[in-house]
Amino acid sequence: MSRDCAPRVVAELPDEGAVSLVGTTEGIFGITPRERFFRVGAETDGAQATVSVLGPSGPHPTGSFFVRRGRLAWVASHELLGSDSDGRGRSLLASDAFAAALGPADLYVLRASGELVAMHWPESNATRHVASVRKQAERMVVSYPWIFGASASDVWALNLETHALRDVPQCPGDICQRIPRDLGAVANLPLVTWHEGPPMPFMGRDSRAFLFDVAAWKLTQLPPADNDPGFGADFVADGRCVYTGNAARGLAQPRWSYVDGNRMVGEDGPVADDGAEWLWIERERDGGRSRLWAAQKVPCCDRALASVQP
């Protein structure tokens, strides 16, 4: 694989793209707008990967789904569902599931009552009580030992070892939370990311992006980019850069560095971290096919950090 910042097309996607995307050691998985699961196979001999449709996800998938040891789990219509990684062997893992998050050893489920339970999935779907959070969440992520939840109005955190519940600091230096979305955790680093949104142009409010340092318990707003001031696209991050569709920039840089051409495409769909690479989707503007793209983080981040800002 090239060490240059050279993006490539991984695969042609089914339907009109994807509303959710996850990269794992067991493959790349996604959910289409028509609520169908798909799996992207391995690339071979420079050829694009094949895409397999695994079947319906069920109505109203939340976009959170998980892969571990050949099994899938996801939340749809307030149920936690599971299947083999080929879409077969579907089963109900838990009812009354409003949000879920995958930790190092367990899968955590938040019920409507605010009770947080855990299961040692995929070996077992037997649940055990963890804590009474008495909070709601539309999305959760684990940055161990903390689990973070984002509701319609705030972001909260629960320590899975001590069961201490903390609110993420609000409004440091006039930074405020508003309808947090796209909550994500950075692999192998104590960092959590999310967007404020959606944008409200008539009120002069953009969709601001945040990085939360779990170790320092500090919330930071990523600086607006002068070549994308609204920044409403999905993104992933590491300790050096943030990445969106076809672009990367340093955490403190006010300008995106494009990896192919001069176009921002992150608004076309989700962005995912695939270890050494990040993934995004580009859709043809005439409503045609969608493509899954990938680029390596380290060389693209290096190039972004070395770029001379005008």
The two structure tokens encoding residue 67: 């892969």
Quick: pLDDT tens for 24-55. 888 899 888 888 889 998 887 778 999 988 88
Q: What percent helix, strand, coil does the chain show, rounded to 5?
A: 5, 45, 45
How does residue 144 score in pLDDT terms, banded at 50, 70 and 90? very high
Higher-pLDDT residue of 299 and 86 is 299
- d(Cα 120, Cα 110) in Å, to the nearest integer? 15
Identify the pLDDT of residue 104.
95
Lowest mean pLDDT among 7-11, 69-73, 198-202: 198-202
Identify the pLDDT of residue 1.
45
- d(Cα 172, Cα 194) in Å, to the nearest integer? 16
Identify the pLDDT of residue 177.
62
- Based on its alpha-carbon atoms, the radius of gyration of the chain, rounded to whole angstroms, reads 19
Quick one: 128 exposed, middle or buried, by C-beta within 10 A (0-12, 13-18, 19+)? exposed
Sheet arrangement for strand 20-24: 20-24, 27-31, 36-40, 51-56
Largest CA distance in the chain: 57
- d(Cα 129, Cα 125) in Å, to the nearest integer? 13
For 173, residues 6+ apart whose C-beta sits below 8 A from its C-beta are: none
Identify the pLDDT of residue 310.
47
Strand spans (E) along 77-221: 79-84, 91-95, 99-102, 107-110, 115-119, 127-132, 139-143, 146-150, 155-159, 165-167, 180-185, 191-196, 209-213, 218-221
- Looking at every residue in the chain, the average pLDDT score rounds to 85
Enumerate the domain spans of the chain: 14-167, 172-310
Quick: pLDDT tens for 129-139. 999 998 889 89
How does residue 290 score in pLDDT terms, banded at 50, 70 and 90? confident
Quick: pLDDT tens for 183-217. 899 988 999 998 876 655 555 556 778 899 999 99
> Would the CATH topology of 14-167 be identical to that of 172-310?
no
Domain 14-167 has CATH 3.40.50.150: no
Quick: pLDDT tens for 87-129. 888 899 999 999 999 999 999 999 988 999 999 999 999 999 9
- d(Cα 307, Cα 310) in Å, to the nearest integer? 9
Quick: pLDDT tens for 208-252. 788 999 999 998 888 877 766 556 678 899 989 999 989 999 998
**CA-based angle 11:16:17, to the nearest 5?**
50
CATH topology for the 172-310 domain: Lipocalin (2.40.128)
**pTM confidence score:** 0.88
**CA-based angle 30:34:35, to the nearest 5?**
55
